[in-house]
Amino acid sequence: MYCSGCGQPLTPGQQFCAQCGRAAAQVPPTAAPAPQIPNIAFELANYSTRVRALSTVWFIYGGLVLVTGLVGLTFANSFLNGGGLGPWMRGPWAHGNFPFGPGFGPAILHFAWVMVILRASLAFVAGWGLMERAPWGRVVAIVAAFLSILKIPIGTALAIWTLVTLLGYRNTTLYDQL
């Protein structure tokens, strides 16, 4: 049996809760005991743990995006500009003969760098907002989830986990109470 005020376990025959002082519900001896439902403090603690884990994974995902973007764009730069990774790494545009002019390759690489930095920043901001339980953190994480849902498999899994954890009336209410 548990206290209906704070969820503290009660011993049989205990009249008052030792933690909050609330009177224990008296059940007649012939009646079947009612099922005990955990209180809101238990729900908040459980939800808080899930949100903290989700924020940690958003930080990890942001770092993963940054590292893979750095490696991928380093190879792309070498491929497009005939870098020093050997003759096997020289692409068809190694000498600046891009189809739309000599500035096309660098412009594409700069755009890709900006996109990688924005994706990683959004993941870090979502993780930080969830870690701090900021009201805007939930919204940023949902936006980041929708933008990452097509990044199969890790982005999709993280997006689904984020949407399941943060959407819905019950989860919205719990997040607002954190």
Q: What is the pLDDT of residues 53-109, one digit of tens each?
A: 999 999 999 999 999 999 999 888 777 666 555 555 555 555 556 666 666 777 888
* Whether the predicted pLDDT of 45 surpasses 70: yes
Residues 6+ positions from 135 with CB-CB distance below 8 Å = 176
> What integer pLDDT is reported at residue 106 of this predicted model?
75
Q: Which residue has the higher pLDDT, 20 or 123?
A: 123
Report residue 93 CA to chain centroid gap.
39
Q: Is the pLDDT of residue 140 over 70?
A: yes
Q: Residue 96, exposed/middle/buried by CB under 10 A (0-12, 13-18, 19+)?
A: middle
Predicted pLDDT at 173? 87
Give the CA angle between residues 141, 143, 147 to the nearest 5°: 115
pLDDT band with cut points at 50, 70 and 90 for residue 51: very high
User: Above 80 in pLDDT, residue 35?
Assistant: no
Asked if residue 132 has pLDDT above 60, the reply is yes
User: What's the DSSP call for residue 34?
Assistant: P
